Amino acid sequence: MIEGIRHIIFDLGGVLLNIDYSLTEQAFKNCGIENFDQIYSQLKQEKFFDDLETGKITSGEFTQSIQQIAAHEISEEQIITAWNAMLLDLPVKRLQLLQQLRNHYDLILLSNTNEIHEAAFNKITQQAHGTLIGAFFDKIYFSHRVGMRKPDKEIFERILNDTGFKPQETLFIDDSPQHIKSAEMLGIQTIFLEKGMTIEDHIFKPKNQDLTSS
């Protein structure tokens, strides 16, 4: 048990789901978009990426935006494949850890994501573990579904208001420093998961447990 903490908010990509931004960058470069790293990164991105993550544009409008900046013709399928290239695996030991933590804490999932990635990581977890990531949380906040995204403080306020959680009793774990800063401004306790750190090796020490056990 963590002293004084009753609720834990988890980021998804980079905290639970392994991701590699460079794979998407390289995939788009292979499609002829040589400056992709200048229009999208973990820390900064062009507006249409934000609009996709907040549900303001559809996946079709997103692929059209990519096509407009491409040096030559690129198909919708190529764009979706390249966009999903960053999504890797969700290790079973992290799901086992979530099962154990849920016996002691309220668990919330908060992710800046989009309908393309949601379909992709649901497929990954379903095929690998026979379940969806949502099964391990009390509530989920996906940016494209709630119309807000990190680091805007409004999405943290939404969670606190919806759940009634006290910020001082709430822990937020994320791998982006700008997201951590916003949560801290509201009094939420935070852990910045730096590069090379994992929740199972550096924050929690799970016991061996079968994924299907209660």
Contact 142, 134 (CB under 8 A): no
Residue 50 CA to chain centroid, in angstroms? 14
Residue 72 CA to chain centroid, in angstroms? 31
- Pairing label, strands 7-10, 106-111: parallel
Given 62, 84, 106, the domain boundary residue is 84
Indicate whether 57 and 107 sit together in one domain: no
Averaged pLDDT for residues 31-35 = 91
Q: Does the pLDDT of residue 153 top 90, yes or no?
A: yes
Higher confidence at residue 8 or residue 209? Answer: 8
Query: Is residue 207 in some structural domain?
Result: no
Query: Is residue 177 in some structural domain?
Result: yes
Indicate whether 26 and 122 sit together in one domain: no
Given 84, 101, 119, the domain boundary residue is 84
CA distances from residue 74 to 7, 19, 21, 41, 86 in whole angstroms, order as listed: 44, 24, 20, 21, 19
Burial zone of 7 (CB within 10 Å; 0-12 exposed, 13-18 middle, 19+ buried): buried
Higher confidence at residue 211 or residue 39? Answer: 39
Given 84, 106, 139, the domain boundary residue is 84
Averaged pLDDT for residues 33-39 = 90
Give the separation between CA 52 and CA 205, rounded to whole angstroms: 36
Query: Is residue 33 in some structural domain?
Result: yes
Q: Does the pLDDT of residue 11 top 90, yes or no?
A: yes
* % residues pLDDT > 90 (the chain): 85
Query: Is residue 117 in some structural domain?
Result: yes
CATH value at residue 131: 3.40.50.1000
Query: What confidence tier does 214 reach under pLDDT thresholds 50, 70, 90?
Result: very low
Query: What mean pLDDT is reported for the chain?
Result: 93
Q: What is the pLDDT of residues 166-197, one digit of tens each?
A: 999 999 999 999 999 999 999 999 999 999 99
Structural domains counted in the chain = 2
Q: Does the pLDDT of residue 104 top 50, yes or no?
A: yes
Q: For every residue of the chain, which 3-state class applies, written as one string?
A: CCCCCCEEEECCECCCECECHHHHHHHHHHCCCCCHHHHECCCCECHHHHHHHCCCCCHHHHHHHHHHHCCCCCCHHHHHHHHHCCECCCCHHHHHHHHHHCCCCEEEEEECCCHHHHHHHHHHHHHHHCCCHHHHCCEEEEHHHHCCCCCCHHHHHHHHHHHCCCHHHEEEEECCHHHHHHHHHCCCEEEECCCCCCHHHHCCCCCCCCCCCC
CATH value at residue 72: 1.10.150.240
pLDDT of residue 207: 56
Indicate whether 15 and 37 sit together in one domain: no
Indicate whether 64 and 127 sit together in one domain: no
Task: For residue 100, give its domain range.
Answer: 7-19+89-202
Query: Is residue 77 in some structural domain?
Result: yes
Residue 176, C-beta contacts closer than 8 angstroms, at least 6 positions apart = 11, 14, 42, 43, 150, 151
Q: What is the pLDDT of residues 154-169, one digit of tens each?
A: 999 999 999 999 999 9
Whole-prediction pTM = 0.91
pLDDT of residue 212: 46
